Amino acid sequence: MSEEVRQRIKAGEQVPVGRMKIPMIDLPLGATEDRVCGTIDIEKALTEGVKAFEPGLLAKANRGILYVDEVNLLDDHLVDVLLDSAASGWNTVEREGISISHPARFILVGSGNPEEGELRPQLLDRFGMHAQIGTVKDPELRVQIVSERSTFDENPAEFHKRYAEKQNALTGRIVDARKRLKSVQIPYDFRVKISAICSELNVDGIRGDIVTNRAAKALAAFEGRGEVAVEDIYRVIPLCLRHRLRKDPMADIDNGDRVRQVFKRIFAME
């Protein structure tokens, strides 16, 4: 909610409310800071002689998803912008005598090849979860993927129609899970053990604790349960903590496996 809308509500005005699909906005690598943050609306300035704000990608992504491909190659000045918005949930623009702030709360999703460049630790920490994706090795599965891709290229509409029922069922599960999420409980003992794992792994800050608790509750809600189980935490905690561990060039074990080892010891699963 912007400051303008908040003031109108305080004044007792009736504010119109609309519904829309959750937006998913792509942030290109070559985007300028003005395109991301917003800038002066030149058209209105020239035609009407007034100063007006033209929203950028951060405004469009508010309450939605901001996707960055090859996020590890993103320019430093754009990384700084993302860090500011991700930390505060607001974007402030100062341009040509105009000062405006608007909400910029979004889910940040990024992809990239770590061999092409490292991601700045400050931005890496802003990603709640980290998944490692490798190339499929099973020949039969590779053939199936190639076949499906060929089918899509030949007739995209028919391809979408074939999977529409499954997609709608998945959408329904997600909607139900979002409604159920607030009522999902996680036992106090589990929360203590999650924090103990983060402490033993020397995870900086408490963002790892927070994300692990949220992810475990989300998984339980998605699977239709009202309370988090140990298996839920075991499934999500490597994703939540893997990228938060300090890198040891001499280590002979994957960070995800390190997390699982400590988890099994803390939760007495060995």
Which residues are annotated as catalytic? 207
Give the C-alpha separation, 103 to 91, whole Å: 6
Q: What are phi and psi of 38, to 5 degrees?
A: 110, 160
Number of neighbours of residue 202 by Cβ within 10 angstroms: 9
Radius of gyration of the chain (CA): 22
Give the C-alpha separation, 34 to 62, whole Å: 17
